[in-house]
Amino acid sequence: MPALADKAPLLSVRDLVVEFPTRRGVLRALDKVSFDIAEGEVLGMVGESGAGKSLTGAAIIGLLEPPGRIASGEVWLRGERIDNLPRERMRRLRGRRIGMVFQDPLTSLNPLYTVARQLIETIRTHMDVSDTEARNRAVGLLDRVGIPAAARRIDDYPHHFSGGMRQRVVIALALAAEPELVIADEPTTALDVSVQAQIIDVLKEICAERGASVMLITHDMGVIAETADRVAVLYAGRLAEIGPVRDVIQRAEHPYTAGLMGSIPTLTQTAERLTQIPGSMPRLDAIPKGCAFNPRCPRVLERCRIERPELIAREGGRQVACWLYDREAQDA
């Protein structure tokens, strides 16, 4: 893969394992997660609370909070391995090559500095431009993300902006150094419903203009349906299914995805599709043997309780971790 850097996907995550050592043993929060993000692609990442979405993002950008750690696996950015970089190099890569947008805009903004100072500092840290040039760029960015009267508002402090406007500022900040990838973790969950779609739209448009790929973490399937090219479904720290968003939504193959899709009111035409999956996702210290979904699965087979299914390649570039699609067993 590294030898073919230009052919490699923008981001490649391979067999990523994240663990938390605790007094009662090691908890495995991500278990061999593998996926790629292509150049310019929007990958949606869904799954119920605690599935490991945020940890996946944090592991990629080197922001796992100790004692959480990458126990094994690899992360490659454009053919360069980045999971084992020294702290300082990782810090520089963050912001420059990977931008971040979190749920709460205030985690990304310093309340003591004007928006101008934060944007200009970010631009000048990563790019060789004059102060005036950096300011012009900053105003242009604010204007692009939809801040009215950007040339004047740039000298305001974060608290002068509404929640939605503040998240636009964060998007401008995340894109200030022209990163190749933006990781957005529930970027609109904390915002008023009326502005959520606008913020997602601006994020998607501006990344598309700049050719930046996006990893969009959310539990909102409606947002994924409208925004993502492909979608990855996580369950109990494992990838259940990944593929083109239309295919996965219209014809989910993994029984868990099928249940998840059945519980999206916005995409549900009839009441009978609103199938609830009985039970709940297991805690990390009680993940069942075999397929993690087996106690809740309506189609469980005997081997599901014993052997863990790996991702199986399906038509159209989809992959599904489920024994129902095991070719050898079907042929037999």
Ligand X SMILES: Nc1ncnc2c1ncn2[C@@H]1O[C@H](COP(=O)(O)OP(=O)(O)OP(=O)(O)O)[C@@H](O)[C@H]1O
3-state secondary structure (DSSP) of residue 133: helix
Token duo for residue 168: 């636009």
Residues 305-324 that bind ligand SF4 (CB under 6 A): 309, 322-324
Tell me which of ligand X, ligand SF4, Mg ion, none is bound by residue 128, counting a contact when its beta carbon lies within the kind-specific cut-off of 5 to 8 angstroms. none
* Three-class DSSP category at 92: helix
291 binds ligand SF4 (CB under 6 A): yes
Q: Of ligand X, ligand SF4, Mg ion, none, which one does residue 213 interact with (CB within 5 to 8 Å by kind)?
A: none
Cβ proximity to ligand SF4, 232 vs 322, nearer residue? 322
- Which residue is it, tokens 């947008």? 101
102/293 with CB nearer ligand SF4:
293
Strand order across the 69-77 sheet: 25-37, 11-22, 69-77, 80-81
Pick between residue 20 and residue 293 the one whose CB is nearest to ligand X: 20
Q: Under the rule (CB under 6 A), what is the footprint of ligand X?
A: 20, 27, 29, 47, 49-55, 65, 68, 219, 284
Mask of contacts with ligand SF4, 246-285, x by CB under 6 A? Answer: --------xx------------------------------
Residue 47 near ligand SF4 by CB under 6 A = no
Residue 280 C-beta: closest distance to ligand X, Å? 12
Partner that binds at residue 35, options ligand X, ligand SF4, Mg ion, none, CB closer than 5 to 8 Å by kind:
none
What is the rounded CA–CA span in Å between residue 230 and residue 108? 27
Tell which one of 167, 227, 294, 319 touches ligand SF4 (CB under 6 A): 294
Residue-wise DSSP of 176-189: TT--SEEEEESTTT
Q: How far is CA 104 from CA 97, 109, 174, 175, 185, in A?
A: 21, 10, 14, 17, 9
Kindly report the number of other CB atoms within 10 A of residue 106's CB atom.
Answer: 15
Q: 43 with 232: CB under 8 angstroms?
A: yes
Contacts to ligand SF4 by CB under 6 A:
254-255, 291, 293-294, 297, 299-301, 304, 309, 322-324
